[in-house]
Amino acid sequence: MIPVNADTRLFCVLGNPVSHSKSPLIHNQAFADHQIDAVYLAFAPSDIQKAMDAVRQFDIQGVSVTIPFKQKVISFLDKIDAEASSIGAVNTIVNQNGVLSGYNTDSFAAIAPLKDVQISGKTVLIIGAGGAARAVAFGIHAHKGNLLITNRSQDKGRALAARYNADFYPMEAIRHLRPDIIINTTSLGMTPGENVLSCPEDCLTSETLVMDVVYTPLETRLISAARQKGCHVVDGLTMFIAQAAAQFELWTGILPDTKKMRHTILTHPDFQTQ
């Protein structure tokens, strides 16, 4: 690791909760691999406005944004990328000489693992209506998938559904659906609530493709149930690494080795896969 000094560039992730995040692990390793004098930290602010003031005050060069700030942070940026603007959520901030620009790498990361799947014409159920759901919905819609939205807050869910002319279903009503693809974009099933099943098993058949954005634990209850039904599954680490690699490229101009990023997480002693 490069020693930290007064010239070390600072990067961070802003989220609450954020203690589970593996972003510091993979970004710090990538900085070391490419001999970049930088350090990446995790912060859990209660007030996103004050956090963004700190980003400016301390000249933090790049920021990952996660739950619950992906939509709220937009008000405190100087510029926003066209795709992030269309999505209505930001997960990446680049600080260039004090100008804070917002981007969204989640949409690309959600679609990348599905590149071998013919999304067009497929029925895709998105669980959630937050920042990650917005990014996933944007990507699925762009690839002409037929969207279904479910969410605990019906107002938020209906608003996202209306944005893409999709059908909304209350969560208690989805067990009768048989979508081709199910994508959980919520924190349901994440440690310490790993016993929560984000989608009824009734929705799953052996033909269903199931994707979960949760990666702690790697084998969520949804992923486990899907495997038992013979579904094709995409774990949360796949999307997480894809969006992180795209972030690193925005900050440094370097696309890191995603296979090494995954290996770094899976072999770390603190990572729990059960």
- Please check if 59 is assigned to a binding site: no
Q: If we measure between CA atoms, which residue out of 253, 273, 14, 265 comes closest to residue 131?
A: 14
Write down the H helix ranges in the chain: 23-33, 48-57, 82-87, 106-111, 131-142, 154-163, 221-228, 236-252, 258-266
- Please check if 22 is assigned to a binding site: yes
- Please check if 166 is assigned to a binding site: no
- Please check if 164 is assigned to a binding site: no
- Please check if 131 is assigned to a binding site: yes
Does residue 156 carry a catalytic annotation? Answer: no
How far the first Cα of the chain sits from its last, in Å, is 30
- Please check if 243 is assigned to a binding site: yes
Token code pair at residue 230: 């013979």
Token code pair at residue 44: 């859990």
- Please check if 132 is assigned to a binding site: yes
- Please state whether beta strands 92-96 and 99-103 pair in parallel, antiparallel, or not at all (unpaired): antiparallel
Among candidate residues 50, 70, 122, 259, the one labeled active-site is: 70
- Please check if 253 is assigned to a binding site: no
Show binding-site residues. Answer: 21-23, 66, 91, 106, 128-132, 213, 215, 236, 243
Show binding-site residues for shikimate. Answer: 21-23, 66, 91, 106, 215, 243
Show binding-site residues for NADP(+). Answer: 128-132, 213, 236
**Residues designated as active site:** 70
